[in-house]
Homo-oligomer: A and B are copies of this chain.
């Protein structure tokens, strides 16, 4: 074996280590919370050397952000249903299912409160959202190609319109994240783009159902 640094190859040892570390991080985060997360515990759980973790992730905030990005990618993949409305509805339904899990909600609340004072957390949070918005850009691109959105439609604005009411209820008012909210948020995001939701022929006409 050579002494050169290990090259990153898909399916190689580096990739396997990365996967183990991120899985161990997500497990620890969700079971014990961000406060209890340490790189030493992650390394032990993933059966790798601590230096292996530090080589790739400078701080536990960055490690946590990457682990949460993986979790979001796995459990909330960017949908491709064939219509913008279908995609937004599927995306938001998945987001709600994810953030309502008590252990996920706890991590979100911790990150929110830490972001006030810890610049590593702020940077890690920014990186997490960049990844998510990059995923949403693919969804918007498909809608532009289908002629549903004008060229230059802004993925950030669309996702903000869609997700903001969910986080407002989750973090601020505590109102329920129900199917009615999905209808409203999808309708709001679409109406902002000049599109009327097909599933909302009569706004407020009927109580919502989960789809």
Residues of A within 8 A of B (CB): 105-106, 109-110, 112-113, 115-116, 122, 125-126, 129, 154, 156-157, 160-161, 163-165, 167-169, 171-175, 184, 187-188, 191-192, 204
Contact = CB atoms under 8 A, between A and B. Distances in A.
A154 B204 CA distance: 10
Given A168-B160, A168-B163, A168-B167, A174 B112 contact: no
Given A165-B160, A192-B191, A109 B116 contact: yes
A175 B165 CA distance: 16
A133 to B, nearest CB: 9
Given A168-B163, A168-B164, A191-B191, A112 B115 contact: no
A154 B192 CA distance: 19
A132 to B, nearest CB: 9
A126 B160 contact: no
B173 A129 contact: yes
A169 B161 CA distance: 11
A211 to B, nearest CB: 20
A187 B157 CA distance: 13
16 contacts: A106-B116, A109-B112, A109-B115, A109-B116, A112-B171, A126-B173, A126-B174, A129-B172, A161-B165, A164-B164, A164-B165, A164-B168, A167-B168, A171-B171, A188-B188, A191-B192
B112 A110 contact: no
B116 A174 contact: no
